[in-house]
Amino acid sequence: MSHSDTIPLHQSSQSDIDEIENLINASVQTSSSTVLPARPPSPPRASIPVSSSPFIQSNLPPLPPKSTSQKPPTVFPAPPPLPASSNARSDTSPTGFGSGPNTLTEPVWDTVKRDLSRIVNNLKLVVFPNPFREDPGKALRDWDLWGPFFFIVFLGLTLSWSASVKKSEVFAVAFALLAAGAVILTLNVLLLGGHIIFFQSLSLLGYCLFPLDIGALICMLKDNVVVKIVVVCVTLAWSSWAAYPFMSAAVNPRRKALALYPVFLMYVSVGFLIIAID
């Protein structure tokens, strides 16, 4: 088939093509006749001033000057000084509460007198009859360890002086027995649920050795077995009586025997040492 040959279109196809051509011509004529209105010009933009200064000038009005007639700040008067006391250092109260006086700059003799006074007061509260024994919490509120240490060392020295041989070994055994026994008895009370301070219990058990110290001293001077037994029994009962209210009040009433029996056993051991040493 050559290019010159043509194929006749169908009548419906020819009508469709004519209709498309008419629509195209009509749209071209309509667009040429319609003129769109011109776009209004845009308003002029404000120009931004460029300044060589690094700070931008503010348009706010300046602040008014401060008034010089301001009210001065209120000054409260200082409290009047306390009147000077006649004593430069107050005495230490045996309550155990609050901070005591500064003892770093006081004379040594004042420190020694204060410690000795405290030992004597605690010894009266623990060993001798007094109204404070009914309330153990008030008796040893100002507890210390100098007194118990002195009574343990004195008892060990007395037993070593009473021994004819091996004096150093006697002192070591006595000191170890008393020191370790006080620690074990205190731990026993605490494990039983006792409401007592550890060092307060050590102080109490040490002060209760005072009657046994007197008994050991008497037995050293009187070399008689009967006298030794009588003295040891009296001093043993005295020491047990001194320790009873404090140790019994520290634990539950149902566990009182468990707390008192080891204390009594330790004092009995010390009494046997006093009698046995010759």
| Both tokens assigned to 202 | 């050590």
With respect to residue 208, please indicate whether it lies within any of the assigned structural domains.
yes
Q: What secondary structure does DSSP assign to 3-62, as a single string?
A: TT---PPPHHHHHHHHHHHHHHHHHHHHHHH--PPPPPPPPPPPPPP--SSSSPPP-SPP
Residue 132 belongs to what domain range? 112-277
pLDDT digit string (tens) for 101-134?
666 777 888 888 888 888 888 888 888 877 666 6
pLDDT digit string (tens) for 52-101?
555 555 556 666 655 555 555 666 666 655 554 444 444 444 444 444 56
pLDDT of residue 85: 44
Please tell me the distance from the alpha carbon of residue 123 to that of residue 97, in angstroms, as a whole number. 20
Name the domain count of the chain: 1
**Which residues of the chain are modeled with pLDDT < 50?**
1-4, 84-99
With respect to residue 104, please indicate whether it lies within any of the assigned structural domains.
no
Taking the whole predicted model, whether its pTM rises above 0.75 is answered as: no
Question: Shortest CA distance to 243 belongs to which of 202, 184, 188, 192?
Answer: 202
Please tell me the distance from the alpha carbon of residue 231 to that of residue 211, in angstroms, as a whole number. 10
Task: State the alpha helices, DSSP H only, in 51-145.
Answer: 108-127, 136-139
pLDDT of residue 210: 92
Rg of the chain (C-alpha set): 54
With respect to residue 87, please indicate whether it lies within any of the assigned structural domains.
no
Q: How many CB atoms lie within 10 A of CB 259?
A: 23
Are residues 213 and 236 in contact, defined by beta-carbon separation less than 8 angstroms? no
With respect to residue 199, please indicate whether it lies within any of the assigned structural domains.
yes
With respect to residue 161, please indicate whether it lies within any of the assigned structural domains.
yes
